[in-house]
Chains A and B, each alone.
Chain A
């Protein structure tokens, strides 16, 4: 079977990823703001007995771009082997895309141009003379609407006849005129671009870039005059409500209300499916207990695996609701407006409006968010964004937060019509943002940079969110939570079960002797379980670290949870579930009840007091409890120093503030 490889190239927000999904049937995340794709993604499909591999590259404005994500795409275009380029152009913003079109065609690679979002262009009275455009550019052009799959079949059929343009779109004397600045061996446009991107000092090459852009500007104008007609040169198509959404005062009021509603929904809507899932898992536990024989395997399933699975499942509704709302904000184009609103504030803290998308994405997971900082062109702003990004409360913290908030506020109380739990959750997210801004400001004052940078944000036009894209966003987030975090949670639950129910043979023998022949008595059985847990492998480790965490109000079981959740924060809940299942008087009560009623074995006082819960909330909001994030920070910054500084600052601040909170509340 014949096989071909194509690069999917286009400017940011041209609908490239939507086209990629339409062609491959895959479910890459899309959004209505630039910079969604910061890495290359592979997909494949078959058409007319041909195997086609497609590579979705980060969006680029031009082949001179120097942003890190754009450079990744440019390197792929200039240096990799492929059979052709599918150049996706936003028809609504055709004029802006013309420079990239001319540059790509000048590379003399087989290319097909996709005029995407053609419906939006038509709505705005932009008309194309496609046959004239084809003749001028000398390549195939297909008009599409990737959202509705209009034109996709046409594109597939034309892929087989893809060819390179024979027209020339750059001044052949351009390079000759500047051979005092560049080596004489550079004799074509492709080599010039390769040279440009290999140089570290681009300042003196700007004069060549300027000459090239000026030359192309005239060609662009000629093409526009011949092939495109539009009703108005400058036209404000943006809805009247945009005025309010980005207003100097009402814009912030609307933003605050949006955030408030988001966190209310997380508790209000997600509460019901969470309760159903918890009820189902409790009944599964009861059923399995009744049918399984009393054996080590049965204990492993009931006390090890099931609590771990429950710890994963019950938080899915909240994660789904949170990302549904974030998806709506992204898809509608409002997220980019939030960047505009916050840019000047962020800038005072050493961040930029472009930091907003990584920071908001950090609410999902810090790992992909750190990768999305590649859109930030200013190295200092990028470094500061990465350093403070893990302060944003990620979805892994959500299970910990909801559990602890429910312990502090067991009833569904309201304050000014708002659910208190939702308000506290909102406050925790704001707390994370506040700490991020405080440390950003400190880093801003400490780090100095002389490099010249260029900042801009594109504000895409508003769109009604597409339900299918929203479902893809929600499904991807839930899937990541189940597969990535879920696997770790269940694996750690099993290991913990073993470590919390087994001990050294000498200790085990002593326990067996102490409790022998008295297992028929329920209360003695529970006392045995409790003593076994305290003397288990994990119990012995927990007691060793207890002096370090005791000032924060934590006992050894919480200490174990802190250690295990270093793999992933949400493991905290699974660990608690496993540890408290191991010695619970009633195995079928919910996790929240088990933890709420837990008592210190020596003093018989509650473990989870308000002071302890607040201290834990602060600790989990601030501590660097995620090995994956640390690895990605190291990979992205290529610096062990910054990774260690970040860990020490986050965990040190968490320890200090948790200690202060515990001391103040308990005194």
Chain B
């Protein structure tokens, strides 16, 4: 069960800075881990596409765009 403070990355707005709490799917978690996105990392939501289907985040000076279906698996907490 997701607590009040924990949100899904896919529900955030542009400009929100958050910390990753957990990544639900192990397959997605490992793939994100390989590109430097893992729990405890701080990320900034930099862009959201016109229909919200693609979300760009910045972490460690790297900007990465992922799809909403992946972002749905990432639990975050505002910092």
Residues of chain B with a CB closer than 8 A to A343's CB: 49, 53-54, 65, 67
Interface residues of A in 88-125 (CB under 8 A from B): 92-96, 98-99, 124
- In whole Å, how far is A350's beta carbon from the nearest beta carbon of chain B? 14
- In whole Å, how far is A406's beta carbon from the nearest beta carbon of chain B? 38
- In whole Å, how far is A349's beta carbon from the nearest beta carbon of chain B? 13
Q: Which of A207, A237, A347 sits near B67, CB closer than 8 Å?
A: A347
B61 touches A248 (CB 8 A): no
A234 touches B17 (CB 8 A): yes
- In whole Å, how far is B16's beta carbon from the nearest beta carbon of chain A? 11
The stretch of A42-50, A455-463, A552-560, A642-650 that contacts the partner chain: A455-463
B27 touches A454 (CB 8 A): yes
Q: Which of A95, A344, A457, A460 sits near B51, CB closer than 8 Å?
A: A344
B17 touches A99 (CB 8 A): no
Residues of chain A with a CB closer than 8 A to B56's CB: 246, 340, 459
A61 touches B35 (CB 8 A): yes
Interface residues of B in 36-79 (CB under 8 A from A): 36, 38, 42-44, 46-47, 49-51, 53-54, 56, 58-67, 70
A96 touches B54 (CB 8 A): no
The answer to the question of A225 belonging to the interface, with a C-beta cut-off of 8 Å to chain B, is: no
* Known contacts A95-B60, A457-B64, A236 near B46 by CB under 8 Å: yes
A246 touches B47 (CB 8 A): yes
Most chain A beta-carbon neighbours within 10 Å: one of B34, B36, B43: B34
B34 touches A344 (CB 8 A): no
The stretch of A209-217, A397-405, A523-531 that contacts the partner chain: A209-217
The answer to the question of A613 belonging to the interface, with a C-beta cut-off of 8 Å to chain B, is: no
A457 vs B29: C-alpha distance in the bound complex, in angstroms?
A: 16
B62 touches A96 (CB 8 A): yes
B30 touches A340 (CB 8 A): no
Residues of chain B with a CB closer than 8 A to A95's CB: 36, 60-61
* Known contacts A95-B36, A96-B60, A343-B67, A238 near B46 by CB under 8 Å: yes
Residues of chain A with a CB closer than 8 A to B29's CB: 210
The answer to the question of A65 belonging to the interface, with a C-beta cut-off of 8 Å to chain B, is: yes
A64 touches B49 (CB 8 A): no
A203 touches B27 (CB 8 A): yes
B44 touches A234 (CB 8 A): yes
By beta carbon, the residue of chain B nearest A341 is B49
Residues of chain B with a CB closer than 8 A to A99's CB: 33-34, 36
Most chain A beta-carbon neighbours within 10 Å: one of B17, B31, B50: B31
B26 touches A206 (CB 8 A): yes
Most chain B beta-carbon neighbours within 10 Å: one of A64, A203, A236, A460: A236
B27 touches A93 (CB 8 A): no
By beta carbon, the residue of chain A nearest B31 is A454
Interface residues of A in 439-472 (CB under 8 A from B): 452, 454-461
A343 vs B56: C-alpha distance in the bound complex, in angstroms?
A: 12
Residues of chain A with a CB closer than 8 A to B53's CB: 343-344, 347
Residues of chain B with a CB closer than 8 A to A235's CB: 58, 61
By beta carbon, the residue of chain A nearest B44 is A234
B51 touches A234 (CB 8 A): no
A213 vs B34: C-alpha distance in the bound complex, in angstroms?
A: 8
B65 touches A233 (CB 8 A): no
A62 touches B26 (CB 8 A): no
Residues of chain A with a CB closer than 8 A to B64's CB: 456-459
The answer to the question of A353 belonging to the interface, with a C-beta cut-off of 8 Å to chain B, is: yes
Residues of chain A with a CB closer than 8 A to B42's CB: 233-234
For the complex of A and B, the 4 pairs showing the least CB-CB separation, nearest first, are A344-B53, A96-B36, A248-B50, A62-B34
* 9 A-B pairs whose Cβ atoms sit less than 8 Å apart in the complex: A61-B35, A65-B34, A93-B61, A124-B61, A206-B26, A213-B33, A454-B28, A456-B70, A461-B63
Q: Which residues does A use to contact B, with CB under 8 Å?
A: 61-62, 64-65, 92-96, 98-99, 124, 126, 203, 206-207, 209-210, 213, 217, 233-238, 246, 248-249, 252, 339-341, 343-344, 347, 353, 452, 454-461
